[in-house]
Amino acid sequence: MPHKRYSLILLGFGLVLGGRAAWAHHSELAEFDPDNPVTVTGTLAKVEWHNPHVWFFVDVTEDDGSVTTWGFSTSPPGILMRRGVTKTAMRIGAEVNVQGSRARDGSNNASTRSLTFADGSAVLAPREDR
């Protein structure tokens, strides 16, 4: 019967470790509010290209001359690459227009619905599955 006890211990560790992974990746709806849309126009300042989601940051110059930085979450790198979007497509310093859903905590963060450059070319077009 000792093998049965070891199986239960391994199962317990698997559940604990699996639970940590599930906690690490949460639903987009938990963090972002689709009923609170945001549109931002500014300069692409930074891109963090890594899992679990690519984040990019846009500097927006306010009417008073101050700069507000907005962070936008998008799909994981693998999904973006399968859609033909690479790191080089998101050019630092480019003028962009971004539409998304604002963070539920009221911070200057949002999920991304679309990312369009000043010339009208879309890097991230609206997705039908959102």
Q: What percent of the chain is predicted at pLDDT more than 70?
A: 75
pTM above 0.85, yes or no: no
Q: Average pLDDT, stretch 1-15?
A: 49
CA terminus-to-terminus distance, the chain: 50
Query: Is the torsion defined by CA of 126, 90, 22, 100 positive or negative?
Result: negative
Chain-wide mean pLDDT for the chain? 83
Counts of helices then strands in the chain (DSSP H, E): 3, 6
Looking at the predicted structure, is the pLDDT value of residue 15 above 50?
no
| Dihedral, CA of residue 62, residue 64, residue 66 and residue 71, to nearest 10 | -20
What long-range pairs does 65-71 form, CB within 8 A, spacing at least 24?
68/108, 69/45, 69/108, 70/38, 70/40, 70/42, 70/98, 70/108, 70/109, 70/110, 71/107, 71/108, 71/109, 71/110
- Per residue in 48-93, pLDDT (tens digit) is 999 999 999 999 999 999 999 999 999 999 999 998 888 889 999 9
pLDDT of residue 18: 43
Q: What percent of the chain is predicted at pLDDT more than 90?
A: 63
Domain boundaries, the chain: 28-124
Phi, psi of 83 (to 5 degrees): -85, 0
Looking at the predicted structure, is the pLDDT value of residue 128 above 80?
no
Q: Which amino acid is at 47?
A: V
Q: Per CATH, which fold does 28-124 belong to?
A: OB fold (Dihydrolipoamide Acetyltransferase, E2P) (2.40.50)
